[in-house]
Amino acid sequence: MRASVLSDWLAQRLDRGNGQPIYRQLHRLLQQAILSRELPPGSKVPSSRLLAQELGIGRNTVTQVYEQLVLEGYVSSATGRGTFVADSAPDEIVGVPDAEAPAARSEPAPQQARRALSTRGARLIAGAGVSKRQWGAFMPGVPDVTKFPARVWSRLHNKYWRRLRPDLLTYAPGGGLASLRHALADYLRTSRSVRCTPEQIIITTGIHQSVDLAVRLLSDPGDVIWTEDPCYWGVRSVLHVSGLESRPIAVDEEGINPSADDLAQPPKLMLVTPSHQYPLGMVMSLARRRMLLEYARQNQCWIIEDDYDSEYRYGSRPLASLQGLDTSGQVIYVGSFGKTLFPGLRIGYLVVPEALAESFATASAELYREGQLLQQAMLAEFIAEGHFTSHIRKMRTLYGQRRQTLLDAAAQRYGDALPAVGGDAGLHLVMQLPDGTDDRRVAAAALERNIVVRPLSGYYAQPLLAPSGLLIGYACVPDEEIAPALNTLADAIDATLPEFV
């Protein structure tokens, strides 16, 4: 497509009256043009000045869309030459090697890999947020695994392996081990006000798998799901590869905050973190909970409630779940032992409405051919003997202290200059950086000093327009290491933002 043809093509499709921001429409249209090869690999896109002029929109809007497409790997820009559709555009199909193009054989491995990937595979890899490091200061979302009661676990482990039971070593029946489902139903009813029977609980390998199962069973490719903006990158990726269209919805102090335009187009599903918005930390108000439940009931949409770390509230009691308020069976509740015990355990669960329980159990066994019954038996006994609640109680005290130590260290270094948000809960805080700061650069500078933090902007649908900040996980950092690690992080911030020192 030539530049003038592209402008016409875009002009015909941009709709100023549909309530969707022009930035988002232009971004989606250009992605579409690249994926459908209307804009083939290697082709030059018009300069931002020209395109802005021809479409009658702000040049900044076009620049920001181009920058976003660069980040996502759709285009690359060469200084002085312009912006080009990437050679390894996400939908490239492996073809017969072209004898006339020997250079193709010597292209770097990552580019070869991208050529081999499907469209959704390439998108997943281009947008992947997973970190190579999963431990150490200040890894967000990771509890202190060194405090796990290993002795109790090892006693249970020995017990089960001494009395070898074939039924625990074979594939799992759909839904997981009955004793764990019973123990969990008791825990969720009393601690989280979840209304459920053991049969409504489906054991999975964690929230990622729970969300995957829920969207496969309750939606079809192309259906729309509302996600909070910002939201957890991992679940966002799960939704993308399932072929759902994510519609990012802004959050305010009361949680997800759909506009009148959003409400006018009901989604098939929505994914929310009512107890502790991830990553900003606010709690969804009762009014907003009621509004969402009523809206979901009237429009027959599903709400997936991600209750990933609600056990950790430091000033007040843990809040009741959204599921507990639901009287019409619209909520799918998902939780995990990843934060309460240890992430590598890979045991999580869904609580589904009674009418869906059988289908979810069957689908889970059918799709994932579950196992891990021995670990499930150990975990059921661990809960029944009271170790689970006692571990949570101890960790709540410990993490509350670590959180305060971190806040004190930050205040000592910066006073009020870098405010922290994140509520009085969870395993991380968000430190806000001055507007316009490139938080990815700050995170990279911290990593060079062996400190892991995540840039806040990466959790937003449009990172280039997002507020700037850092996610700082304190739970897995020993008390005495928090202040020194904060100082190392502050050195990285000061080196990146010299005007701030």
Ligand X SMILES: Cc1ncc(COP(=O)(O)O)c(C=O)c1O
Which residues of this chain interact with ligand X, rule CB under 6 A? 141, 206-208, 232, 234-235, 273, 278, 306, 308, 336, 338, 343, 348
Considering the complex, state which of residue 140 and residue 467 has its C-beta at the smaller distance from ligand X.
140
State whether the Cα torsion 459-461-463-468 is positive or negative.
negative
218 phi and psi angles, rounded to 5 deg: -110, 0
Tokens (6 digits) for 345 = 């355990």
Which contacts (CB < 8 Å, 24+ apart) does range 108-116 have? 111/87, 114/73, 114/88, 114/90, 115/88
Least spacing, CB of residue 421 vs ligand X, in Å: 16
Residue with Cβ nearer ligand X (90 or 422): 422
Q: Which of 129, 367, 141, 344 is nearest to 235 (CA)?
A: 129
- Which lies closer to ligand X via its Cβ, residue 208 or residue 387? 208
Quick one: 320 exposed, middle or buried, by C-beta within 10 A (0-12, 13-18, 19+)? middle
Residue 306 or 370: the one with the smaller Cβ distance to ligand X is 306
Instruction: State in angstroms the smallest separation of the CB of 391 from ligand X.
Output: 17
Q: Which is nearer to ligand X, 274 or 353 (CB)?
A: 274
3-state secondary structure of 34: helix
> Which residue blocks in 232-386 are alpha helix, DSSP H?
233-241, 260-264, 286-299, 354-368, 373-384
Q: Under 8 Å CB-to-CB from 187, ≥6 apart: which residues?
A: 383, 388, 389
Nearest Cα to 341, choosing from 312, 319, 318, 370? 312
- What is the DSSP secondary-structure string of 79-112? TTTEEEE-TT-TT-------TT-GGGGGS-HHHH
- Closer CB to ligand X, 92 or 307, in the complex: 307
CB of 281 to ligand X, least distance (A): 11
CB of 422 to ligand X, least distance (A): 12
Spatial separation of the C-alpha atoms in residues 270 and 226, rounded to whole Å = 4
232 or 360: whose CB is closer to ligand X? 232
> What is the edge-to-edge ordering of all strands in the sheet holding 454-455?
420-421, 428-432, 469-473, 454-455
Closest CB to ligand X among 66 and 302?
A: 302
235/451 with CB nearer ligand X = 235
Complex with ligand X: residue 234 or 243, whichever CB lies closer? 234
In 3-state terms the chain splits into helix, strand, coil percentages (rounded to 5) of 50, 15, 40
Amino acid at 303: I
Q: How far is the CB of 339 from ligand X (least distance, A)?
A: 7
Contact of 197 with 185, CB cutoff 8 Å: yes
Q: Which is nearer to ligand X, 74 or 278 (CB)?
A: 278
Residue 329 or 343: the one with the smaller Cβ distance to ligand X is 343
User: Distance between CA 105 and CA 117 in Å, rounded?
Assistant: 17
Supply the minimum distance, in Å, between the C-beta of residue 128 and ligand X.
15
Say how many CA atoms lie within 13 Å of 13 toward its Cβ: 16
Report residue 182 CA to chain centroid gap. 29
CB of 206 to ligand X, least distance (A): 3
Q: How far is the CB of 428 from ligand X (least distance, A)?
A: 9
Kindly state the DSSP code that residue 117 receives in the 8-state scheme.
Answer: S
Question: Taking the complex as a whole, how short is the minimal distance between the CB of residue 382 and ligand X, in angstroms?
Answer: 17
Q: Is the Cα torsion angle 263, 267, 273, 278 positive or negative in sign?
A: negative
CB of 340 to ligand X, least distance (A): 10
Question: Smallest distance, Å, CB 233 to ligand X?
Answer: 9
Provide, rounded to whole angstroms, the least separation between the CB of residue 337 and ligand X: 8
Q: How far apart are CA 296 and CA 301, in angstroms?
A: 5
